[in-house]
Chain A
Amino acid sequence: MDLITPSLGLIVWQLVFFLLLVFVLGKFAWKPILSSLSEREKSIEDAIELAKKTRNEMAQLKADNDKAKAEALFERDAILKQARQTAEKMIATAKNEAAQEAKAEIEKARKAFREEQAAAVAKLKGETAKIAVEIAEKVLRRELSDKNSQEALVNDWLKDAKLN
């Protein structure tokens, strides 16, 4: 029965040493260890929280960037389109103007030509009339001297004076 009979001495020593252990470890080991543990846990949690926040911020930043990029691209397209339109318009205007100018020039040339032509015709008419008068005068003069030679002369002149 010795095995299950607690001895007084051992109870006393066990009580003394165990309480000492609870006190010493409690004050100098468990307390700092547990506070370090919870501190570290807190810092890890904070770090995770910060990482999550940073990640969200990054995502936000990226979204913002993408949006800005898309906007810039859109704007560029718009500017390009506008520029193209302006250029087209300018070309069209220039073409138009050139065509009109050319037309006006041609018209002017034509008008000048017509005027000249009219003048030439008028001059020719006058000339013809004068020549006709001269011929008539000469014919008349020759008629008076030689009939044959007068005819030959008229034919000759007529051959020379080709009217155009």
Chain B
Amino acid sequence: MNRNRSYKALAISILTLVFSVLGSPATFAQHEHEAHAEATHAHGEAEEFNPGETILHHVSDEHQWHFATVGESHFAIPLPVILYTPTRGLNVYSSTHFYHGSGEHDGFTLHHEHFTSEDGATVYDFSITKNVASLMISVVLLIAIFFTVRNAYAKRQGKAPKGIQSAMEPFVIFIRDEVAKNYIGEKHYRRFLPYLLTVFFFIWINNMLGLLPGAANVTGNIAVTLTLAVLTFIIVNFNGRKTYWTHIFAMPGVPKWMLIVMTPVEIVGMMMKPFSLMVRLFANVTAGHIILLSLLSLIFIFKSAALSVIVGPFTVFMTMIELLVAVLQAYIFTVLTASYIGAAVEEHHHDDHH
């Protein structure tokens, strides 16, 4: 059964890889244009609409929260820029300084959302970017939601759930029974429930926030998925028991000389698991955003408002699918994390037939 699951995981990773490769030529091609586009930016609205640049801009992080540009006026929320350089220490600015004019302020230059220092020192950028700001919003939302739910449980002790409490309860029970208990087992699942529940609801709410117009693409950012995947990797390997490690370094039932081949493969597999988690979430969410933005870009590419009659409903349809993907990807990440933990904490007895 475990083996079957990992085949499935492998198949999914291959599919996502194929998907992201298929999706990328356009984005890569647009990259070349970016420099050119940047140059013409100063000329204002006369410039040609560049869908690649627009889409990439929307799915990427930035140092301000930009909503729209109408004529000459930019509707954007300035965000704090926090920079650390070994030479100058910690510096904090408002992002407005870097989005007007040359993008140079106080010895720092913002170019393509990257900071460089005048004195050539390495710049460590800890800015509250659009994604970080969105992250904070999601954290506040999650805490608000689940504190409300918790209070409802305290207030309505032993009674049927109501309101937001009854909206969240099935998911909490689902993660507890169908994910944690099912994949990790009765004995150990309790320890991992806080992580699994947080991962699930964190990914879900950020996926959904990302679908709002003008919102950040948090779960479609590789840094975010990398962090989550690394946390899963750490949890899995810190909880690895004898069975888990012997399966990596001394696969039972395999001739000794075969271990020379098997052990590296197993070690790669150990790394591939979180890697696939990272890529899957990132690729799925970003691909969804790219599809939606591409559809909307059609209107501007063909410069025809009439096209919105077709594009509009189709975008709505795609958004519906993205809503499904939002919860599905959260579920997949949680389930796979639980199954990796389950494999790590597994006791010896039921592995004899391997």
Partner of B124, one of A9, A30, A32, A40: A9
Cα of A40 to Cα of B135 in the assembled complex, Å: 33
On whether the beta carbons of A29 and B224 are closer than 8 Å, the reply is no
B126 A11 Cβ-Cβ under 8 A? no
Q: Assess A25 versus B143: contact at CB under 8 Å? Given A2-B60, A3-B286.
A: yes
Complex Cα–Cα for A30 and B149 (A): 10
A92→B224 CA distance, assembly (Å): 110
Binds A, one of B38-46, B90-98, B189-197, B249-257: B189-197
Contact A33 B172 (CB under 8 A): yes
Q: Is the CB of A37 within 8 A of B172?
A: yes
- Given A6-B226, A29-B150; A36-B193 close (CB under 8 Å): no
State whether the Cβ of A145 lies closer than 8 Å to any Cβ in chain B. no
Decide yes or no whether A78 CB sits under 8 A from chain B: no
**B124 adjacent to A8 (CB under 8 Å):** yes
Per the bound structure, the CA–CA distance linking A22 and B231 in Å amounts to: 11
A13 to B129, CA, bound (A): 10
Q: From A10, A31, A39, A43, name the one whose CB has the most chain B CB atoms within 10 angstroms.
A: A10
Range, interface on chain A: 35 or more
Asked if A61 is at the interface of the complex by the 8 Å CB criterion, the answer is no
**Are A3 and B222 closer than 8 Å at their CB atoms?**
yes
| With contact pairs A3-B286, A21-B202, A33-B150 given, residues A11 and B194 touching in the complex (Cβ less than 8 Å) | no
| B207 within 8 A of partner (CB) | no
Bound CA–CA A32/B228 (angstroms): 25
Question: Nearest chain A CB to B206's CB is how many angstroms away?
Answer: 10
| A10 and B224 contact, CB distance less than 8 A | yes
Other-chain residue from A6, A10, A25, A43 in contact with B146 (beta carbon distance below 8 A): A25
A4 at interface by CB-CB < 8 Å: yes
Q: Does A148 contact B (CB under 8 A)?
A: no
* B residues near A28, Cβ cutoff 8 Å: 147, 150
Cβ A14 vs Cβ B227 within 8 A: yes
Which of A3, A13, A32 has a CB less than 8 Å from the CB of B56?
A3
Q: Which residue from B127, B135, B157, B282 sits with its C-beta under 8 Å from A17? A: B135
Residues of A within 8 A of B335 (CB): none
Q: What residues of chain B lie closer than 8 Å to A12, measured between beta carbons?
A: 126
Question: Which interface residue of B176, B193, B195, B223 has the most chain A CB atoms within 10 A?
Answer: B223
Contacting pair A43 B158 (CB below 8 A): yes
**Does B112 sit at the interface, judged by CB under 8 A?**
yes
Does B143 lie within 8 Å of A8, measured CB to CB? no
- Closest Cβ neighbor of B226 among chain A residues: A6
Task: Assess whether B158 is in contact with A11, with CB atoms less than 8 Å apart.
Answer: no
Q: Which residues on B sit within 8 Å (CB–CB) of A22?
A: 194-195, 198
Q: How far is the CA of A32 from the CA of B152 in the complex (A)?
A: 11
A135 to B342, CA, bound (A): 155
On chain B, the residues within 8 Å of A26 by CB distance are: 194-195, 198
CB–CB A3/B226 < 8 A:
no
B123-158 CB contacts (< 8 Å) to partner A: 124-129, 131-132, 135-136, 139, 142-143, 146-147, 149-150, 153-154, 157-158
Known: A7-B125, A17-B136. A34 touches B172 (CB 8 A): yes
**Bound Cα distance from A1 to B56, whole angstroms:** 11
Contact (Cβ within 8 A) B132 A10: yes
How distant is A44 from chain B, measured CB to nearest CB, in Å? 9
With an 8 A cutoff between CB atoms, is A5 at the interface?
A: yes
Query: Min CB distance, B287 to chain A, in Å?
Result: 11
Q: In the complex, A15→B221 CA distance in Å?
A: 14
Contact of A158 with B by CB under 8 A: no
- Contact A33 to B149, CB < 8 A, known contacts A2-B113, A3-B60: yes
In angstroms, Cα B147 to Cα A28, docked, is 7
Complex CA gap A71/B202 in Å reads 70
Set of chain A residues within 8 Å of B173, measured between Cβ atoms: 37
Residues of chain A within 8 A (CB-CB) of B61 are: 7, 10
Give the docked Cα–Cα distance between A45 and B339 (Å). 29
Are B224 and A21 in contact, with the CB atoms below 8 A? Answer: no
B226 touches A11 (CB 8 A): yes
Is A20 part of the contact surface with B, judged by Cβ < 8 Å?
A: yes
Say yes or no: A18 contacts B202, CB within 8 Å: yes
Q: Please determine whether B227 and A15 come into contact, CB atoms closer than 8 angstroms.
A: yes
Query: Shortest CB–CB separation between residue A35 and chain B, in angstroms?
Result: 9
28 A-B contacts (beta carbon < 8 Å): A2-B113, A3-B27, A3-B222, A4-B282, A6-B221, A6-B226, A7-B223, A8-B223, A9-B82, A12-B126, A13-B132, A14-B135, A14-B227, A14-B228, A18-B227, A20-B139, A21-B202, A22-B194, A25-B142, A25-B198, A26-B198, A28-B147, A29-B146, A30-B194, A30-B197, A37-B153, A40-B157, A43-B158
Could you tell me which A residues sit within 8 Å of B by CB distance? 1-15, 17-18, 20-22, 24-26, 28-34, 36-37, 39-40, 43
Closest 4 CB pairs of A and B: A26-B194, A6-B223, A29-B146, A36-B153
